[in-house]
Amino acid sequence: MRKGRKLLLCGNGGSAADCQHLATEMVVRLTSKRNRSALPAIALTTDTSTLTAASNDFGFEQVFVRQVEALGQPEDVLIGISTSGTSTNVMRALEKARDLGLVTVGFLGSHLGTMKSVLDYAILIPSVETDRIQEAHITLGHILVDLVECDLFGYPTGE
């Protein structure tokens, strides 16, 4: 972000909601104690016209690919969130991101699933219980936002 890059996020179901939540924390702020500039982050899970058109025209497995192709630039970051590690549409988005030179990150459950080959970084939650994985993912996301705010704006970590 210091170099003008942005964060993209994608996932399904509860993970889609986590994408939206974390993008909002980046754009708005994590806590009212911190007044800082907006950070560029986009949840690829929120534009119903794009989601339905891409699904209709290219299939649900490609639902995030067109957005990555349109919005992603080299050195941007794509976080793919998948409790199972096997979400095909998230996998395809990560493949496209890697092809375009984005940094690829997976927030996953206890298994890399099929995503190992397209991830620069994988953060595994040691559980197979979807609810526990999702709880850990949102906590992980909050920690990530906190670290970014601290690094970019000089806030003390965890305050």
Residue 121 maps to which CATH number? 3.40.50.10490
If you average pLDDT over residues 21-32, what whole number do you get? 95
Question: Nearest CA to 87 among 65, 107, 61?
Answer: 61
Indicate whether 108 belongs to any domain: yes
Domain that holds residue 86: 7-21+40-139
Indicate whether 96 belongs to any domain: yes
pLDDT digits over 33-48, tens only? 889 999 999 999 999 9
The pTM for the full model equals 0.95
Indicate whether 99 belongs to any domain: yes
14-32 in b/e form (b: 16+ CB < 10 A) is bbbbbbbbbbebbeebbee
Q: Is the pLDDT of residue 158 over 70?
A: no
Indicate whether 53 belongs to any domain: yes
- Position 131 scores a pLDDT of 94
